[in-house]
Amino acid sequence: MIDFYSWWTPNGWKIGIMLEECGLEYTVHPVNIGAGDQFSDEFLKISPNNRIPAIVDRDGPGGKPLSIFESGAILQYLGRKTGKFYPGDEAARAKVDEWLMWQMGGFGPMLGQAHHFLLYAPNIEKREGALDYGQNRYRNEAHRLYGILDDQLTDNEFVAGELSIADFAIYPWAIPHKLQDVDFDEFPNVNRWFETLRARPKVQAGYNILKKERDEARELASDEAAKNLFGAKQMERHRKAD
């Protein structure tokens, strides 16, 4: 049994999709990051970086509970635990790791900044023109990254050959592509790959975990949510610790 701590966001979807695709039993624990749940003492013990997703595997190595944060580490762990979507063969695994790290180091963080500057910051920073540099920077970076992904998918059905945790890491960040000002007409291979993943019932099931809770909460644009999400709360936490 896995305890799954998450919220309805791309990094959370990765793990929801993996749990569903592997057929693992899990219990969902909502962590409403707009309301500041990520700063609770209970959650910080599991995820000291105050970010979702995190898991606790009650039946970890040696039969002992094991907690893990960072979505890439969780995907690798679940892949090793189940023997699914993470090849045992070293050469094939190295290729999956390449694309998993590409997602963790680039596709996620850069698209996260694109979301910040294109969607959230305009609600906070109301001065016209003040955001142009940031918006162009991350819009261009998003296009560059989708171009790399499109090239990789020219001769590969999935990013690293067979369907793997690398696809489960990348796909969730491609879901909000319109928000990133990315048009899939420019990236036909990405479009084909995206539709293949989207058509999988387990991928849909993983994506829909916590959707209802997120729809009910709907507080992302509020000032309090912005404070919780964009650093102010975290700075407060560290100042208190000094």
Ligand X SMILES: N[C@@H](CCC(=O)N[C@@H](CS)C(=O)NCC(=O)O)C(=O)O
User: How far is 117 from 7, CA to CA, in rounded Å?
Assistant: 21
6 contributes a contact to ligand X by CB under 6 A: no
- Contacting ligand X within 63-82 (CB under 6 A): 70-71
Least distance (Å) from ligand X to the CB of residue 163? 20
- Figure out which of the listed residues 2, 4, 8, 9 binds ligand X, where binding follows CB under 6 A: 9
How far apart are the C-alpha atoms of 120 and 113, rounded to whole Å?
10
Query: Are the CB atoms for 125 and 131 separated by under 8 Å?
Result: yes
The terminus-to-terminus CA distance of the chain in angstroms comes to 38
Among 26, 37, 38, 76, binds ligand X (CB under 6 A): 38
Stretch that binds ligand X, among 6-14, 147-155, 192-200, 211-219 (CB under 6 A): 6-14
In the complex, minimum distance from the CB of residue 234 to ligand X, in angstroms, rounded to a whole number: 7
Q: Which is nearer to ligand X, 30 or 53 (CB)?
A: 53
d(CA 191, CA 186): 9
- In the complex, what is the shortest distance from the CB of residue 124 to ligand X, in angstroms, rounded to a whole number? 15
Rounded to whole angstroms, the Cα distance separating 63 from 86 reads: 22
Q: Indicate which single residue of 4, 5, 11, 171 sits in contact with ligand X (rule: CB under 6 A).
A: 11
Rounded CA-CA distance 203/21 in Å is 7
Residue in 18, 19, 22, 33 binding ligand X, rule: CB under 6 A: 33
Number of neighbouring beta carbons within 10 Å of residue 217: 17
Total residues interacting with ligand X, rule: CB under 6 A: 12
Q: How far apart are CA 57 and CA 19, in angstroms?
A: 12
Residue 51, interface with ligand X (CB under 6 A)? Answer: yes
Smallest gap, in angstroms, from Cβ of residue 52 to ligand X?
Answer: 4
> 26: which strand partners?
2
Contact residues toward ligand X (CB under 6 A) are 9-11, 33, 38, 50-53, 70-71, 229
